[in-house]
Amino acid sequence: MKCKTKREMQNAEQITMKNGRPASQGTCPVCSTKMFKIGKAT
């Protein structure tokens, strides 16, 4: 079950989507579901 709360990603890694835009992918530290954020990480 997703907790649906905004949190810091755990094990975040920079990826590039099919259209060439940067994104971040990681897991939620509480519920362990996948998290995805479009845009360059700061």
Q: Average pLDDT in the 36-41 region?
A: 84
**Distance, CA of 9 to CA of 32 (rounded, Å):** 10
**Does the predicted model carry a pTM greater than 0.75?**
no
* Nearest to 41, CA basis, from 12, 4, 10, 18: 12
Q: How confident is the model at residue 42 (pLDDT cuts 50, 70, 90)?
A: low
* pLDDT tens digit sequence for 2-25: 888 888 999 999 999 999 999 999
Token pair for 4? 């649906």
For 7, the domain range is 1-42
Q: How many domains, the chain?
A: 1
Q: What pLDDT score was predicted for residue 20?
A: 93
Q: What pLDDT score was predicted for residue 22?
A: 95
Q: How confident is the model at residue 38 (pLDDT cuts 50, 70, 90)?
A: very high
